[in-house]
Structure 1
């Protein structure tokens, strides 16, 4: 006995075939899904007791602990070699002076874009 379906496209009621007579929608996949046998929820059949949960948590904590210990043993951080005070070579530090800016006096008819393209620093206001 085939299950009667409703068309999800045009809402035609009680279709017995694999296509809707109203809009020709293929209903074969929907029919296969509806005809699958019903399965009870497997989680309802699974009964976990308190001691099983305790053992699982204990194993989880032991596993995490072993992972942490293993990472400390096998993954030592690579520190730079420490040299004795007699072997330290200090390079002389020289202070560099900053480059001196090029000054430019704005004249009548100058454009700010032309000045900036030449990397000039404007020292006077443009309104003068």
Structure 2
């Protein structure tokens, strides 16, 4: 027994053939589709897939954060190592360092802007030839409360030494 169809074009009912007698529409494709078995639509449980994707996303965020930390740490270590190497090189390049601390006469000086990597020891070594003369810089600059409180861009006074001043 053939199933009776309804024509989708002219809405004629109870058509038993593959051609609509009213509008000559071919109904063979519709008839084949109607003969296919009907499958039940089971609701798919995709919660596990969503959970898996969220776990992978979380792991990706953790891995990305940790690798960013490692990159930053390596860059910091490399720059710190380069600064230490430069400081060691500067210390070894100094000739005839006097054992006595130079004395400040208060005869002027010059302004210096702190740069990255500067320390009071390195500034005293550069300008006085003796790193242990850093206390002269702190005495001339009341804004320096501690040798660790140097800020990049800070303007400080590097006082002249007594030996550098002309006596009138």
More strand by share: 2
Structure 2 length normalisation: TM-score? 0.32
Structure 1 length normalisation: TM-score? 0.40
Which is bigger in relative contact order (C-alpha 8 A, separation at least 6)? 2
Greater C-alpha Rg: 2
More helix by share: 2
